[in-house]
Structure 1
Amino acid sequence: MLIDNFRIHKHSWIIISLLFQIQKISSQGTGGPQDGGPYQGKFIGKMNSYHHQVSGEIHAVDDTTFLLTNFNYDGNGADTFFWAGASNRPGPLGFIVPNEYGKTNILSRYYNKDFTLKLPDGKKITEIKWLAVYDLSSQNTFGDIYVPEDFDPPATQRISQLTRKAHGVTSGPIQVLDAKTLLLPEFSYDGGGKSTYFWVGVGPQPSSKGFKVPDEYGYLDPIRPYLRESVKLELPGELTIFDIDWFSVFDIDTKENFGSVIIPDGLNVPPSLVKIVPHKNSLPNCVQLHKEYRMSWEVFGPQITIELAAQVDENDYMAFGISGSPTRAQMIGSDVAIAYIDGYRGFANDYNVTAKAPCIKVLGQYKGVCRDELLGGLDDNQMHTAVRANGINTITYRRSLIPNSDPGDKEIPTDREIQLIWALGVLNDEKEPSFHDLYPRGSLSINLGRKEAENNCFAFTRSTAEPKKPWDISHILDQNIRLFTATLGPSGGKRGYHGMTGMASPGFSWYINGYLAPELYLKRGLRYTFEVRGGNDPHSPEAYHPLIITDEPHGGIDRNQNARTRKRKEARVLAGVQFSTRGQARPTAAGPLCLARHSTERDRRRDDDFTDFKKFNRSLIYKCDKDQEPGMLEITPNSSWPDTVYYNSFTHSNVGWKIHVVDSFTLSAVGGSQRSATLGICLSTYIALIISYLYLF
């Protein structure tokens, strides 16, 4: 059902767009593309050329910024700058405009170059009369352009609020921030629709002949409930505000408009800074899974060819496969491919999911997200091509529609729809998938054997916005603290454990004294005790986490005991493990499970919305086994311990973080890098933590 709407008018979109451009052309005197090309801001004019081959076109991006396109200058001026002023014509009364790098250097050669110039010191375009290429030593103008009188530069435009029709849809006046971005202030929707999306299209009023707009996180799932939230939306692919007539909250099942607004013609808005990254499919069918991810396919004979393409980092993976349930999206029991590129080589490995945890051996059997070979099957995916270009990984592989004798492989029917799942995430240091960052909450149902080709994919886009800052790492630096409580909790998205430590997380992490993976400071010769509440059920891949301390950052030494995963150096285990006469490691510090969880109202895909761990932690619900005593790990660091060791999980990798082993608690001993740390936990803070734990238990 998610893709049924996209079957509408694949080819008629071209006709609609052409008719729409004819309709719009008479109303673009104040805004919109001037020549059918990409919108670059409000056109001012072509630069007047006098000397040194100066030429180019000038647009206003906003009230302080010019965009110069196809700009040329031979670079032969002696003392030449971009120069602006408020006099009647260019002359010595003016000021230097910094170049595209923000520098006031003498201009070098330009050849058909596009770039922006920002006026200095908060000056505005409306305060000047001209922009010139001017030589200060000879006081000659090599080229100039005059700003028209009463010039109105592009700016954010406020339009009407959403009409109130159904399901509590309301908003403040919608803001068009730029040519591709809408802001819905105070937006509300009760979530009661069947299949409701942000929806845009052309024509006099909203209709089913429209197109989905990804939500604020890039998902194309039916939208969630909102309550007076500011929602920023980016129009998909190459679509701009000048290509649409209306915006709606629309249910494609019932064809009902819950609330909408008409987009005025010729809005004088800034151009979008989003870069369009076109990507051509090699297969006839394509479905857009997320703003950053698409899947193409073709069925031929007894096989299906699948192409996965995503805008991801080099160490990311793409997951795609058949759901573990025939009626909904379900991770347990699913048959998935984990696709990634390692150097110049591509992989599309065949996995089976038996638990929501990385693959580990439980009582002699592998459980979790495991390769088929470990579960007694075969890797039936046939790798075809793998390319990384323009920040996009594209991997093509083939598999049989009907599996052979592999019990983990699922059949792909061609006569009906099938439930599919997908995800994007980071590979750990063993090139195994860690917990996924992007994944759908709703179901994805597609008939992969349909006769008519289907393609609803759009171009990738790339924002210039800076990534969100990781949360600060807490430092427990107090010589009076000798007792630590180790519990488990969610790792907190890209701003959490992954951003703080730089390591891929399995989705959960150690919480020490209530803090997510803090750095601990221990003194040699002193005895310390860890109360461990990480789970003591060896039958469960999710709930068995004895605490260990090693000299390497990853942990999970139980995984490293079999030859398949020995890709790291041999770890030195300092505490938490005893070895049998055969060298088999056995944990000594396992305790009952105390786990922080997201509330049922929270979506963990939105963890990065929290600006710090403190606010994130307040949103969690703690559930602890109160009937069992915690596991105990007592340690006394000595001179044989390295200066930096790591607390971690015996079973899973990348769950903990650093312990600094010091000879004293002086500033020089703990290191100059920590002298400015303000996150040390004093005794009074720790007492407060004890009180909070007494409340929990």
Structure 2
Amino acid sequence: MHVTKLFCLTVCLLLTGSGSRAAVFLGDLVTHFHQVRGGLYAIDEKTFFIENFNYDGAGITVYVYIYLIGDEVDETGGGIIVNWSSSMMTVPERRYNSENVTISLLNGPETAANLNISNIQAFTIWCEPFELFFGSLILPANVSIPSVDTSSPTAAPVVQHCAQLHDDLQVFWTTNSSHIKIKQCGCISDDQYMAFGISGDDAITFMVGADVVVAWVEQDGVANAVDYYINERQQCRGGEGVCPDTLLSQSGTDDITIIGGGVSDGMTCVEYERSLTTSDPRDSPYLLNNQTQFVAWALGPLAAEEGLRNLALFHTEWPRSGANFQLNFAQGSQCVEPLQCIDEMVCAWEGANMTAMEPTTFFVKIGSSGGLRGYQAITGLSGWGIALYINDTLIPVLRVRRGVTYTFIVEAGNDVNDRPRYHPFYITDSIEGGILLDTPEDRLRKNEQVFAGFDLDSNQPTAAGRYCEHVETSSSGDVATNCSSRLEDYLSTLTVSCRGDESEAAILQWTPDDNTPDLVYYQCANHFHLGWSIEVVNGTDSGMGNITDPGMGNITDPGMGNITDPGMGNITDPGMGNITDPGMGNTTNPGMGNITDPGMGNITDPGMGNTTNTTDNMGNGVQNNTTDVDMRNNTDIGMRNITNNVTGMDMDSGETSSHMMEVWLILLASITSLIVTINL
């Protein structure tokens, strides 16, 4: 193929991320396919620059492909691939509209990193599957290319070091006398982050006090690297917690310059650089004196909620069980092999339910959120690594009844000066909670209703007790990541640790009423997303699961000659004629003459709750006006099993026997009436 030679030797001044630098104009790319065009420059012997690069993004497996002097420039192969960026080999499959692009030979592969631009004959944008040039340029001969400026922060040595911090996280770095260039690569999705930096303690790996960079790539391909400082183990709010430097209460500076990033084969990489030392007192220096430094790292979810979007939430992976990580940034190290990112489905635990139709006492504590299988998987919301426990169970759904008073013994932290452990308990219609963190604008947006545990007039919580925490043990991590384990298995690995005396527990009483919505939430007033839902029903609601009698629906008479009740045994009367009673609703027997009992007639019994007037036209009264509104805790499937399954409640056995006797008397009277009628 013939490629036009362009001999433009113009020396230009380019404005790049590191300031103005002299660069040599090599020529304009020749367009072949997919609208590829742009002006190609050499910034130095290792760096190409494409000015106003255009590409429609419609190609697949497209590379920067170079040919050395003396090689045949042939579309069928024989050239050398140059990585598009430090994190991506191929040209991204997206549209470029007059964008400036920097391509460094140092990004690799190794063959390219050891070359100089003055050794290169041709620069092409090449599609491998179809062996086609989308754009190309034969470089001018005898051009004086600037040497690499070693004082520039963008200039990096060829040697690149790597550390494997986790199965899903590697960190690469290069240094010069003034800057460090870092690339984080992780097996994360577009709603997750990876973080790396200097530990908050000189002697161990410690999160609080750590200076880290939180990095991620958004769904549209935009790479992010943000300077963070961790001053408390909590969500960033009001300038405290895990916050970007620019959001701290004593505002700092973001000293990170992002270079680029992308996603390839499930692996996300983001590259950035920073001065070894900065003027921000919260930034820890990177040492190049052959001294090891303790580092901190984490993987976790990004917040998606309005007002919190893309803030780092509590990590799901981090150095567990006191593991310490040290790196020597001067000597470095090498990773054995690249990451292998496998898309694994999260196997969520089944959430717990607690039903209480009678006055009940609930005990509230704080504890671990159970990793990816716990809070986040159960609720579908972004958690913070901790969550509320009710009766030693992680965020159960509570099912309660209007008009019944419930007591909450709250032991989740009452020291307002220890904000990470301060968890006042309240009941609200907000799925977020965290009312103490809301700005006036947040209050207007959420229009939150509070039903217990918080005084809106004084803006103060009323249910904050001593601190009791469900703490993970050494076996908790393995159980939390084992898809065959159950929530109960995980809970059994936890231990409870309390501060203070039992007398310091707070007591909150709440009686849902007609003004209480069907769905509310128990939450922490000082953090977002620590609690879960409460379902509120009326006293006669049979949808709660513990009041069940589908219409006495096991009494059937197919063909109107046989009444069969598998819950009552087998009552069969072939002389009954044509009795139709689906669920004992309306019984009509035209085969018996003029006997009409439109109810057996008006027996309304979801669970034998209300039995009213059964009188037939023969004048035989059958249990007139029997009403039992207190059978609400009984389960009657076919009138065979009468049980009380209110979670956490004890029911007096005498009361149970009394209810059972009432049911059997009603049933016996109805059967006796039928038999008497038949004999007549």
Shift in alpha-carbon separation, 1:403–1:634, aligned structure 2, 3 A: same
* Residue number in structure 1 paired with 2:340: 461
* Residue number in structure 2 paired with 1:620: 494
Within a 5 Å distance, the mapping from 1:470-489 to structure 2 comes to: 470-489=348-367
1:380 to partner: Cα distance: 1.6
**Is 1:283–1:307's contact at 8 Å kept on the other side of the alignment?**
no
- RCO comparison, higher one (Cα < 8 Å, 6+): 1
- What does the per-residue CA deviation read over 1:13-44, in whole Å, with 9 as the maximum and x for residues that have no partner? xxxxxxxxxxxxxxxxxxxxxxxxxxxxxxxx
* Residue number in structure 1 paired with 2:314: 435
* Residue number in structure 2 paired with 1:241: none
Within a 5 Å distance, the mapping from 1:595-610 to structure 2 comes to: 595-599=469-473, 601-602=474-475, 604=477, 607-609=480-482
* Residue number in structure 2 paired with 1:519: 397
Within a 5 Å distance, the mapping from 1:511-590 to structure 2 comes to: 511-561=389-439, 569-580=446-457, 585-590=459-464
Residues in 2 aligned to 1:671 and 1:681: alpha-carbon distance in whole angstroms: 8
* Residue number in structure 2 paired with 1:188: none
Picking from 253, 265, 273, the partner of 1:390 is 265
1:350 to partner: Cα distance: 1.6
The secondary structure found in structure 2 opposite 1:434 is coil
- How many residues were matched structurally? 391
The secondary structure found in structure 1 opposite 2:334 is coil
Point out the structure with max Rg over C-alpha.
Answer: 2
* Residue number in structure 2 paired with 1:682: 645
1:469 to partner: Cα distance: 2.7
1:545 to partner: Cα distance: 0.4
The secondary structure found in structure 2 opposite 1:651 is coil
**Is 2:402–2:537's contact at 8 Å kept on the other side of the alignment?**
yes
Residues in 1 aligned to 2:485 and 2:649: alpha-carbon distance in whole angstroms: 23
The secondary structure found in structure 1 opposite 2:435 is coil
* Residue number in structure 2 paired with 1:148: none
The secondary structure found in structure 2 opposite 1:640 is coil
* Residue number in structure 2 paired with 1:319: 195
Residues in 1 aligned to 2:342 and 2:644: alpha-carbon distance in whole angstroms: 38
- What does the per-residue CA deviation read over 1:581-622, in whole Å, with 9 as the maximum and x for residues that have no partner? xxx7321111111222134x4464653337122222222221
Shift in alpha-carbon separation, 1:303–1:684, aligned structure 2, 3 A: closer
After TM superposition, the score normalised by the length of structure 1 is 0.52
**Is 1:283–1:296's contact at 8 Å kept on the other side of the alignment?**
no
Picking from 354, 358, 364, the partner of 2:235 is 358
* Residue number in structure 2 paired with 1:369: 242
Picking from 522, 529, 532, the partner of 1:654 is 529
The secondary structure found in structure 1 opposite 2:232 is coil
**Is 2:170–2:339's contact at 8 Å kept on the other side of the alignment?**
no
1:357 to partner: Cα distance: 2.6
Q: Which moved more, 1:415-424 or 1:652-661?
A: 415-424
Q: Percent identity?
A: 30
1:514 to partner: Cα distance: 1.9
Amino acid at match of 2:512: P
* Residue number in structure 2 paired with 1:640: 515
5+ residue gaps, structure 1, are: 1-280, 689-697
- What does the per-residue CA deviation read over 1:625-659, in whole Å, with 9 as the maximum and x for residues that have no partner? 33434212222323333321111100111111011
Within a 5 Å distance, the mapping from 1:263-412 to structure 2 comes to: 284-344=160-220, 345-361=222-238, 366-373=239-246, 374-376=248-250, 377-404=252-279, 406-412=280-286
- What does the per-residue CA deviation read over 1:376-421, in whole Å, with 9 as the maximum and x for residues that have no partner? 21222222323233322221222111121x2211111112222211
- What does the per-residue CA deviation read over 1:463-503, in whole Å, with 9 as the maximum and x for residues that have no partner? 47x63532221111131243222111211122222221122
**Is 1:476–1:681's contact at 8 Å kept on the other side of the alignment?**
no
1:354 to partner: Cα distance: 2.3
* Residue number in structure 2 paired with 1:204: none
5+ residue gaps, structure 2, are: 1-156, 551-634, 636-642, 652-680
Shift in alpha-carbon separation, 1:463–1:378, aligned structure 2, 3 A: closer
- What does the per-residue CA deviation read over 1:342-369, in whole Å, with 9 as the maximum and x for residues that have no partner? 34333222221223332345xxxx4432
* Residue number in structure 2 paired with 1:445: 326
1:424 to partner: Cα distance: 0.7
Amino acid at match of 2:203: T
**Is 1:437–1:605's contact at 8 Å kept on the other side of the alignment?**
no
* Residue number in structure 1 paired with 2:52: none
Give 1 or 2: higher strand fraction.
1
Root mean square deviation, CA, Å: 3.3
**Is 2:422–2:526's contact at 8 Å kept on the other side of the alignment?**
yes
1:669 to partner: Cα distance: 6.1
Within a 5 Å distance, the mapping from 1:19-168 to structure 2 comes to: none
**Is 2:357–2:404's contact at 8 Å kept on the other side of the alignment?**
no
**Is 2:201–2:209's contact at 8 Å kept on the other side of the alignment?**
yes
**Is 1:336–1:351's contact at 8 Å kept on the other side of the alignment?**
yes
**Is 2:358–2:404's contact at 8 Å kept on the other side of the alignment?**
no
Picking from 458, 472, 493, the partner of 2:371 is 493
**Is 2:471–2:497's contact at 8 Å kept on the other side of the alignment?**
yes
Residues in 2 aligned to 1:327 and 1:505: alpha-carbon distance in whole angstroms: 30
1:444 to partner: Cα distance: 2.2
Residues in 2 aligned to 1:427 and 1:499: alpha-carbon distance in whole angstroms: 14
The secondary structure found in structure 1 opposite 2:340 is strand
Within a 5 Å distance, the mapping from 1:179-258 to structure 2 comes to: none
The secondary structure found in structure 2 opposite 1:542 is helix
